[in-house]
Amino acid sequence: METAPQFFRHGPGPFARLFVFALLSCLLIAEDVRFQYFPQLRQAIGVIIFPLQKIAYIPANIYDQVEEFIASFNLLEENIKLRQIYLENREQLLKLASLEAENIHLRNLLGAVQHIETKTRTKAVLAKILYTPRDPFNHKIILNKGSQHHIQLGQAVIDDKGIVGQVTQLYPWSSEVTLLTDKDHSVPVQVVRNSLRSVVSGTGKNDQLELRYLSVNTDIQRGDQLVTSGIGGVYPPGIPVATVLRIERDPTGDFAQIISTPVAGVDRNRQVLILSLIQPDSDDASEALEIESGKN
């Protein structure tokens, strides 16, 4: 079929087209912010852009390899250093085991109710940060492990010092982690000093977390350590989250304003650990903390 040559080839005018597409994107925005009926849509787009992200990661990969090559010259020293750290950690682990045994024993003596079974056995998978999105509005990172590597939604992500965030979106070969500092992210925590329970929330700013709804006379001090309480079952208990930075107690208000900073290098690492929680299989193993390092 031949079509007649078009002298003035244009469909609807620019404004009409903008109107249609603006309407379409407004619908999408409303769908994404409020309802989220189609999580598959985002996943499908994620699969499309994955090869592009892989290509974009090539320069960083080369940089990593060069760095590793240079680092390999002083492997011997590093090995000795790591061995020392390992021995120190080992000693602490031994202490922990004996303390745990003592704790169980004392608990039995007291006839106390056994701890509510929390998911405490963890398995860790090492993941690399693919890239940080450019948006200043949400604090998220993309990791190179996805549902094909048996990562699941809601898994906790940590580094060597503490909690980094939580897996919130899964793609086949990558996953999206919402950082502690994201405005929509909260972690149930406990103060180490007096085991006060609270929830720490992100503020959308780098290196700032907020303890909301604690009354003015709450017993909390500058420098207090906050660790996960394990309530809610997302995070295993006892992992460091933040340190209290400053407290403003305004006697006219109901709540104290408590600002804390995350312990982990939330915006600094290249590698992180994804913790998968395993239900304890038997009662007596319920309190054993076991960290197996998974394959890379």
Partner 1 sequence: MLQRRLKLNPERTKDDRSNKDNYFGQDVYVSASNWFIAASLVMALILNFLPLQGDILIFRPDFVAIAIAYWNINHPHKMGMSVAFGMGLLMDAGNTGILGQHALAYCVIVYLTLIFGRRLRLFNSMQQAPQVGLILLIMQTVIVLVAISGGSALPDGYYFLAAVSGTLLWAPGSFLLSMLLKQKSDPDAL
Q: How far is the CB of 180 from partner 1 (least distance, A)?
A: 16
Site for partner 1 contains 9 (CB under 8 A): yes
Task: Find the part of the chain contacting partner 1 (CB under 8 A) among 23-31, 78-86, 224-232, 249-257.
Answer: 23-31
Site for partner 1 contains 145 (CB under 8 A): no
Task: Find the part of the chain contacting partner 1 (CB under 8 A) among 94-102, 131-139, 189-197, 216-224.
Answer: 131-139
Site for partner 1 contains 150 (CB under 8 A): no
Site for partner 1 contains 137 (CB under 8 A): yes
Tokens of 77: 């020293």
Site for partner 1 contains 265 (CB under 8 A): no
Site for partner 1 contains 40 (CB under 8 A): no
Instruction: Choose between 15 and 69: whose C-beta lies nearer to partner 1.
Output: 15
* Distance from C-alpha of 204 to C-alpha of 182, rounded to nearest angstrom: 5
Task: Find the part of the chain contacting partner 1 (CB under 8 A) among 124-132, 243-251, 254-262, 283-291.
Answer: 124-132
Tokens of 123: 């398995």
Task: Find the part of the chain contacting partner 1 (CB under 8 A) among 136-144, 157-165, 237-245, 258-266.
Answer: 136-144
Task: Find the part of the chain contacting partner 1 (CB under 8 A) among 21-29, 96-104, 217-225, 235-243.
Answer: 21-29
Binds partner 1 by CB under 8 A, chosen from 2, 3, 4, 14: 14
Radius of gyration for the chain, computed over Cα atoms and rounded to the nearest angstrom: 25
Q: CB neighbours (10 Å) of residue 240?
A: 18
* Distance from C-alpha of 127 to C-alpha of 145, rounded to nearest angstrom: 6
Tell how far CA 290 is from the center of its chain. Answer: 20
Q: From residue 45 to residue 74, what is the string marking binding to partner 1 with x (rule CB under 8 A)?
A: xx-xx--xx-xxx-xx--------------
Three-state DSSP at 66 gives: helix
Instruction: Choose between 21 and 86: whose C-beta lies nearer to partner 1.
Output: 21
Site for partner 1 contains 157 (CB under 8 A): no
CB burial readout 17-41, b (16+ within 10 A) else e: eeeeeeeeeeeeeeeeeeeeeeeee
Instruction: Choose between 48 and 70: whose C-beta lies nearer to partner 1.
Output: 48
Amino acid present at 109? L
Q: Count the helix, strand and coil residues of the chain and give each as a percent rounded to the nearest 5.
A: 35, 25, 40
**Contact partners, residue 167, CB within 8 Å, separation at least 6:** 143, 151, 152, 153, 154, 155, 157, 175, 176, 177, 274
Q: DSSP E strands: which ranges in the chain?
A: 121-131, 140-143, 156-158, 163-170, 175-179, 186-191, 197-202, 209-211, 225-228, 240-248, 257-262, 271-278, 291-293
Site for partner 1 contains 153 (CB under 8 A): no
Q: CB neighbours (10 Å) of residue 244?
A: 20
Size of the site for partner 1 (CB under 8 A): 49
Q: How far is the CB of 268 from partner 1 (least distance, A)?
A: 8
Tell how far CA 89 is from the center of its chain. Answer: 24
Site for partner 1 in 182-201 (CB under 8 A): 183-184
- Provide the binding-site residues for partner 1, judged by CB under 8 A: 9-10, 14-15, 17-18, 21-22, 24-29, 31-33, 41-42, 45-46, 48-49, 52-53, 55-57, 59-60, 129-138, 140, 142, 169, 176, 183-184, 204, 267-268
